Amino acid sequence: MEILDGRLASQTIREELKLKTAQRGVEGKKTPHLAAVLVGNNGASETYVNAKVKACAEVGFKSTLIKLTEDITESALLSTIEKLNVDPDIDGILVQLPLPKQVSENKIINAINPLKDVDGFHPVSVGKMIQGLDTFIPATPYGIMLLLEHYKIETAGLHAVVIGRSNIVGRPISILLSNNTQPGNCTVTLCHSRTRNLEALCREADIIVAALGKPEFIRADMVKGGAILVDVGITRVADPGKKSGFALKGDAHFESVAPKCSWITPVPGGVGPMTIAGLLKNTFRACEEQDDSSEQ
C-alpha cells in the first residue's frame, strides 16, 4: 500500500505557482488576487476559508476575505458579488458554501462573473467541463485529478465507483474520470443514498472516490484487494482528547482499509491540501486570462 500524499503533491504545485507569480512580478504584470466570501460562523467553513487565504499569501497572491453575518439578505450578497465582478483588481471570486437558508446558492453562483469563477460552480464552467473543454474545474475534483496525475496513476479502463452526487465533488469527479484524458478514461458508477447494493458495487471498484460525508463508512470488506481509494470525507467527530475538541475523520476506516489498497489518501493530508492547490491554480489562470485579455 502506498500513500497518495496530498501535502507533498500540493507543495509541488504551490512552489510552481510561487515561481510563476514571482515571474509575473518581474515582468510588471498583475498579482493574482482572490476574493473569498464567508457568510456566518460555521466553524468548518471558517477553517477552510482561512486555509485558502493563508495559501494565497504563501504563493504570493493577494487575497481579500469578506466576512458577512449569518442574517445577510440575498440581495445584499448579490450586490457584494456584483462589486467583486466589476472590480478589475479581483481575479477570482469564491463564495464558501453552504450559505444560510434565506439565500439561494444557485442565484449566488449564477451571479458570479464566469471569468472569475475559480470554484468552477457556475453553469458556464460546468457546461464546458461536461463538454471536455478547458475551463475552471471545481477545486476538490480538480485536486483529485492533479493528485492522480502527480503519482502517475494509470486510470484508463478502470472501474471507478464514486459515492456522493454533490455538485461540489461527486458529480464533477464522475465526469472528469469518464473523460477521454489521463487521468480519466474510467468506467464510472455514480452512487448515492438510494443506490442498491452499494457494498457490492464498491467491492467491484478499481477506484473508490468516497464523498458521502459519513465518517469511517467504508470498511475493509467493501474494498477489493489492490483498489485505489480517494477519501474526500473530512467530518469533525467529537474527541475530548484533542485540544480542539474534535478529530477529523474520513469516509473510510483507514486502519482496516489501507492494507488492502494499492494507493490511499490519508485524512487529513490527502484531498484537503489538493483542494487548495486546485483553487490556487484556478486563481492563477483567472488572473492570466483576464490580464492578458485586458492588455489587447
Interface with ligand GUN (CB under 6 A)? 94-97, 119, 139-140, 168, 275
CB 96 → ligand GUN: shortest distance, Å? Answer: 5
119 is catalytic: yes
| Residue 246 CB coordination number (10 Å) | 15
Cross-strand bridge partners of residue 230:
209
Q: Is the peptide bond before 259 cis (omega within 30 degrees of 0)?
A: no
Comparing CB distances to ligand GUN, the nearer of 5 and 119 is 119
CB 35 → ligand GUN: shortest distance, Å? Answer: 12
Nearest residue to 158 (alpha-carbon basis) of 13, 281, 23, 262 = 262
18 is catalytic: no
Comparing CB distances to ligand GUN, the nearer of 166 and 182 is 166
CB 242 → ligand GUN: shortest distance, Å? Answer: 22
CB 219 → ligand GUN: shortest distance, Å? Answer: 25
Comparing CB distances to ligand GUN, the nearer of 167 and 262 is 167
Shortest Cβ contact with ligand GUN: which residue? 97
H or E stretch including 277?
helix 271-295
- C-alpha 222/C-alpha 181 separation (Å) is 28
What distance lies between CA 242 and its chain's CA centroid?
26
Beta strands 235-238 and 246-249 are: antiparallel
Contact present, 63 and 34 (Cβ < 8 Å): yes
Catalytic residue among 52, 116, 249, 281: 52
- 3-class DSSP assignment, residue 23: helix
CB 168 → ligand GUN: shortest distance, Å? Answer: 5
| Residue 70 CB coordination number (10 Å) | 13
- C-alpha 5/C-alpha 7 separation (Å) is 6
Comparing CB distances to ligand GUN, the nearer of 94 and 176 is 94
Catalytic residue among 5, 91, 117, 119: 119
52 is catalytic: yes
Catalytic residue among 96, 231, 249, 251: 96
- C-alpha 286/C-alpha 9 separation (Å) is 22
- C-alpha 191/C-alpha 22 separation (Å) is 43
Comparing CB distances to ligand GUN, the nearer of 95 and 287 is 95
In the DSSP assignment, the letter for residue 20 is H
List residues with catalytic annotation. 52, 96, 119
